[in-house]
Chain A
Amino acid sequence: MKIRWSRTILLLTPATLLAAMLFVYPVFGVLSLTVHDGTSFTGEPIRQVFNSQLSIIVLQRTFVTAATVTLICLLMGYPMAYFMAGLSPRKRVLATYLILLPFWISVLIRTYTWIILLGREGILNKALVAIGLTAEPIQLLYTPFAVHIGMVQILLPIVILTCLTSILDVERDLVKAARILGATPAQAFWKVLFPLSVSGAATGGIICFILCLGFFVTPTLLGGRTSLLIANLIDLQVHKTLKWDLAAVMASAMLAATFTCLLAYWMLTRKRAEFATGGLAR
């Protein structure tokens, strides 16, 4: 036992040191900036952020956008995962591959693609004008609509795959049993499959929500002035206005929000092992 202990420590040391040096230390630097101005403790940065209408609005907007995007991803992702679960294993592998294909392309490239598609002289607007639905091009790019589309496209594969594992995880025989006992296909789905897989879908939702909170590139490239999210505001405070203390307060607020989500995730998952691993434990 003693030998194993020292070996474990030895194996963990490099990673721990690296994480401590490059992650924990800077994070504490950021946290200390929120309450300490270099010479003494101060509540000024926190007061300034929470008194500023702009930061409150952007914080709210970030949470609302994250929630909306997560909802859209779940509404689109769960049916897709349900469809994939019904495919033969070979076809399912192919479908998984097709879903992962865009996932492997750089976020930047995928986001730029939307600029080409949604622009005033882009394909969509040209088509709309050509079929006479609108006389003038519509402003699609640089709107919250474009930001939502861009974010959903990036996050959807993650949600589909977490939903898929949770659906596959449900014992197929249970659905069969329900059918044998006289349930209609819809009843079998809503009374058996859905309740058993919804926890896995929620896991995907929480992951999606946390990722949404930190989105930067998509709102920068596809958003207009009113689709700026908290990450953009932090960038602005660091690079434009040099208010590092205010940036630190906002970053800490996001960190707290992420930890709250992780806590929710942990509370939900500790009850059930298959939930925690998205069904991978089997």
Chain B
Amino acid sequence: MTKITRRTFGIAAGALAGSLAFSPSFAEDVTIVVNGSGGALAQTITKIFEEPFTKATGIKVRPTAPVSLPKLKAMVESGNVEWDVTELNGDDVVTATKAGWLVPIDYKAIDPDNKLPAIAKQPTALVRASYSTVIAFRTDKFGGKTPQSWADFWDVKSFPGPRSLENSPKGNLEFALLADGVAPDKLYPLDVDRAFKKLDQIKKHIPVWWTNGAQHVQLLIDGEVSMTSSWNGRITPLKNEGKPVDITFKGGALMLSYLGIPKGAKHQKEALQFMKFRMDPVASAEFVKQVPYPGFVPGMMELLDPAFAATLPTSPANAAVQFDFNSAWWADNLDAVQARWNEWLLI
């Protein structure tokens, strides 16, 4: 077995020659890994952004899921970074930036003409989308009345029936304070004690605390609950199908979702190219028509039907009745509040 036959030698030599011959063209055949939240949304992103991007640049895109801060931490700390771009929510960006898991973004590459608004350009993350956590409710359970505020959500006499909230302090503390009469512009810094006291009142009316976007929709449709906090994009398609559900933007939490590049990502140049492509107004308008989570892409709103634009969380009328979710406060306080939340909820 130790003897190298002519055949083995031939194969080895061929492989060597092959790898040498192919090495120059290797650089063109780049595949970037873009991590997102998966599901139906991922298919839309593939169709509207990733496939045209590959056609335009020759750079292939492999989408992965889900969005996970622990995974990002594990990748960066082990030095084995799989993602080139990842979606991140607001306080993930703050935490990841503090921990040094994200690289600073070169906005000269993404926004050479400086057209993006400043709010979209965080040092280590680009705003990809905005969405709201709002009140969703059954239109057939309250005798024609519709809840108008978080105070109504807490009012189990006028609006009877079980409710659901997300199993997370984020947003819920704000909702409790709004229900308790705090003015939307006076929310932060949050009065945590007051919020938990108010949450005590609603606790026994919540049989289940949802953990993902599909679950709260299911709870509402199945009649398990009559009211729940919900992401704004999930309910409208069901309402259009004729299901007895609706949302109100009143008291909603306007949140931002970002794209960032992990430290040690292997294709940072291509990642920036992809992020630039995500800021294309035509593609973005097409995307928002299917998924109502608009970013701050300049020129996109003008491409939309005004009646449709009015249903988006960032439309002036809707933005006015919501509050801006403060990710920075949460990044500073999440650990302590989450620990208290777990004890409060699970004991």
Contacts and interface: CB of A to CB of B under 8 A. Distances in A.
A241 interface: yes
A202 to B, nearest CB: 33
A54 B342 CA distance: 8
Given A236-B342, A241-B338, A57 B347 contact: yes
A214 interface: no
B346 A225 contact: yes
Interface string A47-87: 00000111001100000000000000000000000000000
Given A224-B208, A238-B70, A120 B339 contact: no
Interface string B310-347: 00000000000000000000000001001100110111
> Interface size for chain A: under 10, 10 to 19, 20 to 34, or 35 or more residues?
20 to 34
A228 B223 contact: no
B346 A54 contact: yes
A142 B222 contact: no
A119 B338 contact: no
Interface in A227-251: 228, 233, 236, 238-242, 244
Given A119-B224, A240-B338, A226 B346 contact: yes
Contacts of B73: 242
Contact of A225 (B168, B209, B223, B338): B209
A237 to B, nearest CB: 9
Contact of B347 (A54, A224, A242): A54
A119 B209 CA distance: 15
The DSSP consensus for interface residues of chain B is mixed
Contacts of A113: none
A167 interface: no
A134 interface: no
B207 interface: yes
Contacts of A224: 207-208
A141 interface: yes
B207 A119 contact: no
A228 B207 contact: no
A239 B343 contact: no
Interface in A193-227: 224-226
A184 interface: no
A239 B70 contact: yes
B322 to A, nearest CB: 25
B69 interface: yes
A139 interface: yes
Interface string B141-170: 000000000000000000000100001100
Nearest to B66: A239
A121 interface: yes
B223 A120 contact: yes
B338 A139 contact: no
Given A57-B346, A238-B70, A242-B73, 15 more contacts: A53-B343, A54-B342, A54-B346, A57-B347, A119-B223, A119-B224, A120-B222, A121-B222, A141-B224, A142-B207, A224-B208, A228-B346, A233-B346, A236-B342, A241-B339
21 contacts: A53-B343, A54-B342, A54-B343, A54-B346, A54-B347, A57-B346, A119-B222, A120-B162, A120-B222, A139-B162, A139-B207, A141-B208, A225-B206, A225-B346, A226-B347, A238-B70, A239-B68, A239-B70, A241-B342, A242-B73, A244-B70
The 7 closest A-B pairs by CB, nearest first: A121-B223, A142-B208, A142-B207, A54-B343, A225-B345, A228-B346, A241-B338
Interface of A: 52-54, 57-58, 119-121, 139, 141-143, 224-226, 228, 233, 236, 238-242, 244
